[in-house]
Amino acid sequence: MRGASKPGVIVLRGLVALGAIILAWYFLDLPPLLVLAASIATFFYFLWWSPTTCGAENRTEGTFCRNNATGLLGTCHLRAHADQKLKLRYLARGQLTRRWFAELRRRILRDSRKAVAAAGASATALLAIIALVGVVAGGAVALSRPTAGRG
């Protein structure tokens, strides 16, 4: 398979993009609107395109699907697994219960690639919120380097 890349490298690309956004904002004083746009794009990368495993429960008790999937919200090619993940997404129906959060945590932390993608999505969401505050404040929020005082 010439030209194919390993899934871990592709997850790493999302983390490199996240780090590049933070470093560019810090060192290049990018406008918050540009940081917000890049953060949203990276967030959706982790949710929909980052390679992970499916992780849906198989019919055999205690085993889980190890087929390739894309993103935290995606599933493998099996229709039953897509239905299972859709059921998890809409299980709460307006009320977020402890059972729903426990099931979500169990499914995400089962696989290291999903855990890395979840951490990246969380960090990117936090960065997007900070950038949104900067956009609303008119660009007043910026990550600026400390300056040495004269004295």
Cα 146 → chain centroid: 30
Distance (Å, rounded) from C-alpha 87 to C-alpha 78? 15
Distance (Å, rounded) from C-alpha 81 to C-alpha 70? 13
Ranges of beta strands (E only) in the chain are 51-53, 68-70
Task: Name which of 51, 97, 104 is nearest 74 in CA terms.
Answer: 51
Give whole-number Cα distances, 107 to 74, 93, 113, 147, in Å.
12, 19, 12, 45
Q: Which residues of the chain have pLDDT under 50?
A: 1-3, 151
The pLDDT score that the predictor gives to residue 53 is 86
Tens digit of each residue's pLDDT (9 = 90 or more) over 74-115: 888 888 888 877 776 666 566 667 777 787 788 788 888 888
The pLDDT score that the predictor gives to residue 2 is 47
DSSP classification of residue 2? T
